Amino acid sequence: MKNTAGTEAAKRAAGEAAAAEVADGDVVGLGTGSTAAHAIRDLGDRAAAGLDIEGVATSYQSRALAREVGVPLLSLSDVARVDVAIDGADQVDPDANALVKGGGAAHAREKVVASAADRFLVVADESKFADPLEYPVPVEVLPDALARVERAVRDADGDPELRAAERKDGPVVTDNGNLVLDCDFGAIEAPASLARTLSGVAGVVEHGLFVDVAETVFVGDDDGDVTRTTL
Ligand SMILES: O=C[C@H](O)[C@H](O)[C@H](O)COP(=O)(O)O
């Protein structure tokens, strides 16, 4: 379930401002989604002009785009540390201490890359901010654990909904072969606590709450201006 309210101009401004942080020799985490895609395209242009970088993709989509624009790639399975990662979000709290990600079902690999990154740069537009967070939290689930995880989400006062595919009958299957529950918890007053609860459920591969991971947030607007906040 995507949050699609922002304009391309705002997304491009944020993505390109974050991409400008990448330096020669960096290993770069390549986020997923329409905002991170602007950063990947910009990095492709800079790589063509001589910037020496290696990318680590967070999804099929970001890998395909990186190949298309000429960003050399490392395999995530070979990478323990990333210099800088750039990624979008579906919702961001006012201080950017907590994000909801996974509208494109890429949050499991995104979280691995974010946790490996010395610097995690979030790219967003004003439409992504909410106080408190209220966006349904995507939870990637082992298929065999679906019923168990649904029960655990209800026990935590959430309402789980199996994400349906749009051009295929049946559910979305992630790049990792799992299912996604979009879990509506209403207003999320304590994201860190909810994140711990979800992480503790057997069968949850990863959830889309990212708490205390952002280093800097780049927020683009429709005029192409960018507000940069370092946490
Ligand atoms: O799974 C997808 C990711 O978490 C995206 O980063 C998130 O959905 C934001 O995407 P967009 O920039 O297209 O709003």
Residue percentage of the chain with pLDDT more than 70: 100
Class of residue 24 by CB neighbours under 10 A (exposed 0-12, middle 13-18, buried 19+): exposed
For 137-205, give the CATH class.
Answer: alpha beta
The stretch 59-69 carries a mean pLDDT of 98
Distance between CA 166 and CA 1 in Å, rounded? 11
Residue 30 has a pLDDT of: 98
Listed by start position, the domains of the chain span 8-128+211-230, 137-205
Residue holding tokens 């909410």? 130
Which atom belonging to ligand 1 lies closest to the Cα atom of 4?
14
The stretch 67-85 carries a mean pLDDT of 97
The reported pTM is 0.96
Chain centre to alpha carbon of residue 56: 14
CATH architecture of 8-128+211-230: 3-Layer(aba) Sandwich (3.40)
Ligand 1 atom 9: residue of nearest CA: 89
Residue 115 has a pLDDT of: 97
Select from 32, 34, 38, 40 the residue to mutate for testing ligand 1; criterion: most ligand atoms less than 8 Å from CB: 32
Distance between CA 160 and CA 13 in Å, rounded? 34
- Confidence check: pLDDT of 96 > 90: no
- Confidence check: pLDDT of 2 > 80: no
Distance between CA 19 and CA 21 in Å, rounded? 5
CA of 102 relative to ligand 1 center, distance in Å:
6
- Confidence check: pLDDT of 6 > 90: no
**What is the number of alpha carbons within 13 Å of residue 154 lying toward its C-beta?**
7
Distance between CA 67 and CA 47 in Å, rounded? 12
- Confidence check: pLDDT of 1 > 90: no
DSSP E strands, the chain: 27-30, 54-57, 73-74, 82-87, 91-92, 98-100, 117-125, 137-141, 159-162, 179-184, 204-207, 209-211, 216-220, 226-230
Report whether 56 contacts 114 (CB < 8 A).
no
Write down the mean pLDDT value for the chain: 96
pLDDT digits (tens, 9 = 90+) for 175-227: 999 999 999 999 999 999 999 999 999 999 999 999 999 999 999 999 999 99
Residue 95 has a pLDDT of: 86
Residues forming the annotated binding site for substrate? 32-35, 87-90, 101-104, 128
Distance between CA 107 and CA 206 in Å, rounded? 7
Q: Strands 204-207 and 137-141, how do they pair?
A: antiparallel
pLDDT digits (tens, 9 = 90+) for 105-122: 999 999 999 999 999 999
Distance between CA 120 and CA 126 in Å, rounded? 19
Residue 4 has a pLDDT of: 76
Residue 3 has a pLDDT of: 72
Establish whether 150 is a catalytic residue: no
